[in-house]
Amino acid sequence: MKLFQAILVLLCISVFGHVSAQEKINIAISAAPNSMTPFYSTDANSQNINRLIHSSLVDFNEKMQFMCIACESYEDKMSGSKQVLTFKLKQGMTFSDGTAVTANDVKRSYEYFAKDNKIKSTFMGAYESIEAVNVLDDKTVQIVYKNFSLENLSNLSLLKIVKLKNPNAEVFEPQDIIGCGDYVLKAIEPLEIIVEPRDTSKPTLVFKVVKDETTLALKLINKEIDLSVANMSPRKVFWLKSQPGIRVWDMPSGNFQFMGINHKRELFQDIKVRKAFSLLIPRKEILEYKLKNTAVLSVGMFSPAFGDMYEQTEIEKNDVQEARKLLTEAGWVKNKNGILAKNGKLLEIDWKVSNNKASIEVVEVLQHFFEKEGMIVNVSIQEWGTYMSAFKAGKFDIVVGQWVGFTGPDMLKFVFHSTNVPPKGGNRVGYINPALDTILDKATVETDATKRTLLYKQASNLINSDYATINLWHPNIIWIGRNCLSDIKLESSGSFYPLKKLEKNCGK
């Protein structure tokens, strides 16, 4: 009898362990990853899911500071004009096939990402400044850069430490690449990605693409989705907060939403006009009534998530009288039909917006306030790819854009330096300011952190005072899920790292 009881207990433990390992958390994302192969993953979803499967040497924590992922520690020093980064790898770290991660694996991964012309990684250009990768011992690797740049360390977050099942293959599918992260890629379907934990006591994560937010809300209510990390309009978030069994996690993100004005257009070459547009926006009212307080109003590109760069200054006021005065000084006066005109030319605006519902709602609100002042605003709603093509090509007067996923002040150069007008960089509004270029060039090569931060703050203040773009807000990171999930500590980058600690306690 005792033997039977013992066998029964062992069987129950075995079954319970099996159930625990097989438990799944269904997670909604709003768009399919563009590539689950880490050499080519450029969108947020593919990057974030790949972070779970493939570890990099370093990444960013919730305070936008560098943290070790595959390393125990690192040293950053200058050797003449060269920047030298030395990493001590974590002891006991292994690939998903059980083999140890060594310094040679890091060097080999660098060669895959930076030099392999058969692979032709999307990120090859990010590592052009690397002069050498030296293996000092089995757990120590040194990376030597030709010169100093903040991007040197941040770009290493894109370089995943990987093994290839067959290095001589002509084409590499995602499952041909062995990672050393906490999860293994199990399956890829058009609308579903499954990753299994290497620690079988943790749940499997099933990422499901749900593009329509109404469908997503119903799936949350019906318990078909456990957690949503997808984009959702403030109105829908506000409604879901009131639903039983639903919990909302949110925090200010590092993302920056702005109104982009095309500096190549004669209209916006006058700073008085640029400032007038900004003064016409009732930001506080929009935040409260339209955004339902799901954002933080912006004083520049950097949100409170960026401790070193964020400066608490006054939010741009809504001053209609001052805006009217500036427009008049710029030569724009209302004709007999109440439309602003200058030298017989009407103030008419071509406004491009993507077909994202939340973006359209914001544009419609802003359109109302501009038309109220006598402007003709032609809003063109476009599919995402068409919208981005027009934005990059400068075929617009105004857009509402958003920069996501950036991690430091070096982003200012990519977005505002005159050498980064597309197709090369991110200066899509065509802003040209030689004084700003000089400051950013100095900041780029400054090795003293305090002096460098001061230079970037000087650049940021110049960008704001010149209305290079018009600051709007920093959308919150918002995750919505069933209240039977364990607590979640979000990260301002929107990273999926918090999922590694997520537990599902439904029905237990």
- Grouping H, G, I as helix, E, B as strand and the rest as coil, residue 359 is helix
Q: Quote the pTM value.
A: 0.80
φ/ψ region of 165 (left if φ > 0, alpha if ψ in -120 to 50, else beta) reads alpha
**Rg (Cα) of the chain, in Å, rounded?**
25
Q: Which two tokens stand for residue 382?
A: 């476009």
Q: Which two tokens stand for residue 15?
A: 């079954």
The full length of the chain comes to: 508
Instruction: For residue 40, give Cα distances in angstroms to 118, 173, 208.
Output: 13, 11, 21
Q: How would you write the pLDDT of the chain (508 residues) with one tens digit per residue?
A: 333 344 333 334 333 333 344 699 999 999 899 899 999 988 889 999 999 999 999 998 777 788 999 999 999 999 999 999 999 999 999 999 999 999 999 999 999 999 999 999 999 988 999 999 999 999 999 999 999 988 899 899 999 999 999 988 888 899 999 999 999 999 999 999 999 999 999 999 999 999 999 999 999 999 999 999 998 888 899 999 999 999 999 988 889 999 999 999 999 999 999 999 999 999 999 999 999 999 999 999 999 888 788 888 889 999 999 999 999 999 999 999 999 999 999 999 999 998 877 788 889 999 999 999 999 999 999 998 899 889 988 999 999 988 887 888 989 999 999 999 988 889 999 999 999 999 999 999 898 989 999 999 999 999 999 999 999 999 999 999 999 999 999 988 889 999 999 999 886 5
CATH 3.90.76.10 fits 55-166, yes or no: yes
- Distance in angstroms (rounded) separating the CA atoms of residues 407 and 254: 8
Q: Cis check for the bond before 423: say yes or no (omega within 30 of 0).
A: yes
- Grouping H, G, I as helix, E, B as strand and the rest as coil, residue 384 is helix
Question: Which helix (H) or strand (E) element contains residue 381?
Answer: strand 376-382
- DSSP assignment of 292-317 equals TT-EEE-SSS--TT-TTT----PPPP
Instruction: For residue 384, give Cα distances in angstroms to 156, 359, 374, 395, 397.
Output: 29, 11, 29, 14, 17
Going by their DSSP bridges, the two strands 71-79 and 192-197 should be labelled as unpaired
- Distance in angstroms (rounded) separating the CA atoms of residues 181 and 202: 14
Number of Cβ atoms within 10 Å of the Cβ of 286:
19
- The pLDDT of residue 38 is 95
Residue ranges covered by each domain of the chain:
55-166, 256-475
- Grouping H, G, I as helix, E, B as strand and the rest as coil, residue 42 is coil
**What value, to the nearest 5°, has the Cα angle with vertex 274 and ends 270 and 275?**
115
Contact indicator for 240, 220 with CB cutoff of 8 Å: yes
- Distance in angstroms (rounded) separating the CA atoms of residues 228 and 233: 13
Q: Which two tokens stand for residue 126?
A: 């990010």
Contacts of 432-437 with CB under 8 Å at 24 or more apart are 432/263, 433/462, 433/466, 433/468, 435/462, 436/462, 436/463, 436/466, 436/468
Right CATH number for 256-475 from 3.10.105.10, 3.30.70.141, 3.30.70.270, 3.30.70.100?
Answer: 3.10.105.10
